[in-house]
Amino acid sequence: MGDANYIYNNAWPPGTQASELDSTRNIEMTQLFTFDNNFQIISNTDSPFCNPSKLTPQSFTLSFEWAPNTVGTSNLLTSQFNVIWNNQIIDSIIPSTSTLGVNQASYNVNAFNDYGCPLNILQFDGT
């Protein structure tokens, strides 16, 4: 992680923290989310009382910002990635000359709520 403005893409505001996904090595980033009954994020700890078969999904808007790496020797081909929610590819981001700045992505996904059941998995997979 580092200051995105100086390392990755100068379209980010100064001081923005970002992570680089290196698609030339097919790097993947994964984050688990656990929600309570009101769909507020809580600690990601396993519980002996977790029973996934009794959970009901609820629509959830997943949003994030992304920008292709335009600093240094990287190019648009090394900035491609898949967005994966609960082991399903929901989008393939393929930057172009029209997406050189900071871009917003939003998706409606199903999220599960239960204390101690980390069933909501977000992954970014370099392609």
CB 40 within 8 A of CB 33: no
Give the angle 12-107-54 at the CA atoms, nearest 5°: 130
Q: Can you tell me the distance from the alpha carbon of 36 to that of 29, in angstroms, rounded to the nearest whole number?
A: 24
Domain ranges of the chain: 2-44+61-126
Taking all residues of the chain, what is their mean pLDDT, rounded to a whole number?
Answer: 75
The per-residue pLDDT for range 16-72, each reduced to its tens digit, is 766 776 655 658 888 777 776 676 776 655 555 566 666 677 888 889 888 887 776
pTM for this entry: 0.76
- CB-side exposure of 17: number of CA atoms within 13 Å? 1
What is residue 80's predicted lDDT score, i.e. its pLDDT? Answer: 86
The per-residue pLDDT for range 76-101, each reduced to its tens digit, is 777 889 999 988 999 999 988 888 88
What is residue 5's predicted lDDT score, i.e. its pLDDT? Answer: 47
pLDDT at 105 over 50: yes
SS3 52: helix
Q: Can you tell me the distance from the alpha carbon of 64 to that of 106, in angstroms, rounded to the nearest whole number?
A: 7
What is residue 111's predicted lDDT score, i.e. its pLDDT? Answer: 83
Of residues 20 and 1, which shows the higher confidence score? Answer: 20
CB atoms within 10 A of CB 92: 11
Token representation of residue 103 = 């871009």
What is residue 89's predicted lDDT score, i.e. its pLDDT? Answer: 96
What is residue 73's predicted lDDT score, i.e. its pLDDT? Answer: 58
What is residue 104's predicted lDDT score, i.e. its pLDDT? Answer: 92
Find residue 35's DSSP bridge partners: 41, 113
What is residue 82's predicted lDDT score, i.e. its pLDDT? Answer: 93
